[in-house]
Amino acid sequence: MRFPIITRWLELLFPETCVVCNDVLRYSEKYMCTQCLSDIPQIYVHNKQHNPLEELLWGQLPFVRATSFMVYTKKSKYASILHTIKYKNHQQLGIAMGEMFGAELLRSGFMETIDAIVPVPLHSKRERSRGYNQSSLLAQGISHVTDIPVIDTAVIRTKNTESQTRKNKEERTQNVAQIFEVAQPELIQEKHILLLDDVITTGATCLSCAESILEQGFVSNISVASLALAR
Ligand SMILES: [Zn+2]
């Protein structure tokens, strides 16, 4: 750091706070306080019997494995992690959460045989206005830890749909039907890909994207992961 004294003063004037509970962070803490970090409502990947994402996708998609890092309800204080990454331009938090998830995926053997990570794409207009795709940040974090490459140009989103937030399950499925296209199938052909989303609620967006990939991408296998599963 070039100006350690100035930086220290800025920290005193504008202390960094926990993205979950808003308490001021201690010197050794980053993004989240120790308490919130240890209380993350985590889904342990190796605990196959209690995997709510697999249960959600069963019968709807031929997948190899599926898991989320954590599960929460809309009112949970942990929803703020996703909100901060998506709407507050906190790109470093996205990468850091991806690294945390990546370490768990690696430890559990989940990444075995996976050749590439494919983040669910945003429409190019939305990505330009936000400046980034939050799922790509998570993918970068997972890639740092696992050394598995991110491929974020193979699949594109052809329609800029309305937000899914206020829609019921059927409306959500309708809203995202046929909105993805495989633009460069040669990048994912014959690969086992990990389709990665930031939050899965009903699974409609992720399923629509997976269907397009299975129809047009010539992949050998597909697995699915999301940082959060919202309930
Ligand atoms: Zn906290």
- 149-175 pLDDT, tens digit per residue, is 999 999 999 988 877 777 787 887 878
153 within 8 A of 183, measured Cβ to Cβ: yes
Rounded distance from Cα 88 to ligand 1 centre (Å): 18
* CATH code for residues 40-230: 3.40.50.2020
User: Rounded to the nearest whole angstrom, what is the distance from the C-alpha of residue 16 to the centroid of ligand 1?
Assistant: 11
Ligand 1 center to residue 42 CA distance, Å?
A: 15
Structure confidence at residue 2 (pLDDT):
61
The SS3 of residue 54 is: helix
Q: What is the pLDDT of residues 75-126, one digit of tens each?
A: 899 999 999 999 999 999 999 999 999 999 999 999 999 999 999 999 999 9
Q: How far apart are the first and last CA of the chain?
A: 42
Residues 189, 184: Cα–Cα separation, whole Å: 9
**Contact assessment for residue 227 and residue 67, using Cβ atoms and an 8 Å cutoff:** no
Distance 203 CA to ligand 1 centre (A): 29
Q: Classify the C-alpha dihedral 120-124-126-132 as positive or negative.
A: positive
Name the residue with higher pLDDT: 133 or 8. 133
Whole-model pTM: value is: 0.91
pLDDT value, residue 11? 66
**How far is ligand 1, taken at its centre, from the CA of residue 183, in Å?**
42
Domain boundaries, the chain: 1-39, 40-230
CA 97–ligand 1 middle distance (angstroms): 15
Ligand 1 midpoint to CA 39 (Å): 9
